[in-house]
Amino acid sequence: MAEEPKEAGQTKPGFQNPVAGFGVTFKAMFKKRLTEQYPEQQKTTAPRFHGRHQLNRHPDGLEKCVGCELCAWACPADAIYVEGADNTDEERYSPGERYGRVYQINYARCILCGLCIEACPTRALTMTNEFELADSSRANLIYTKEQLLAGLEEGMVDSPHAIYPGTDEQDYYRGLVTEAAPGTVQQVAVSKGEKPEEEEVQA
């Protein structure tokens, strides 16, 4: 059905009353302002806010990450790079057979979705409330393992060091190890530093 022609001078109903156009303005004038004085006043985040990642430790200081790379596989933005390595009795970073030798998260690509947290089988990776990740350099947005690893608390010894005597990997994840064994000392990190020169074999 064809529309009826509009009469001359006919206007839309919304513009018939000039005051009606200012209704939204008048209502907003008496509402509480939402302006935040950031960064002078730090913003309080929600308890389960998805912020910067953190690599956690066991109560004795050993790392929970076993270098399985499941977090990297689960990341939809391909922002995580993990390179695993084997533990030895002389240089042990985690209670299991392997540990994360290289761990990087590119926050220029990360969308903070939290899928890596769900994929982690050892609860090694969690997310903090830290949200100030902006930087003037793209290279600085690639966080390394040293930047992501949780700090040492009371009763911890920095890795690498030997596991608690008489325990195995399962005891750590059952929560039976609550602190470092008396006399635990940090081992020499050979794999991270320069490897010692091999002695020449005499014929």
Binding residues are 65, 68, 71, 75, 110, 113, 116, 120
Q: Judge residue 3's burial from the number of C-beta atoms within 10 Å of its C-beta, 0-12 exposed, 13-18 middle, 19 or more buried.
A: exposed
Task: Give Cα separations from 185 to 16, 164, 169 (angstroms).
Answer: 83, 11, 19
CB 161 within 8 A of CB 62: yes
Q: How far is CA 176 from the centre of its chain?
A: 26
Task: Enumerate the known binding-site residues for [4Fe-4S] cluster.
Answer: 65, 68, 71, 75, 110, 113, 116, 120
Q: Which amino acid is at 180?
A: A
What are the φ/ψ torsions at residue 13 (nearest 5 degrees)?
-60, -30
d(CA 201, CA 196) in angstroms, rounded, equals: 15
Picking from 193, 185, 126, the residue whose alpha carbon sits closest to that of residue 159 is 185
CB 72 within 8 A of CB 90: no
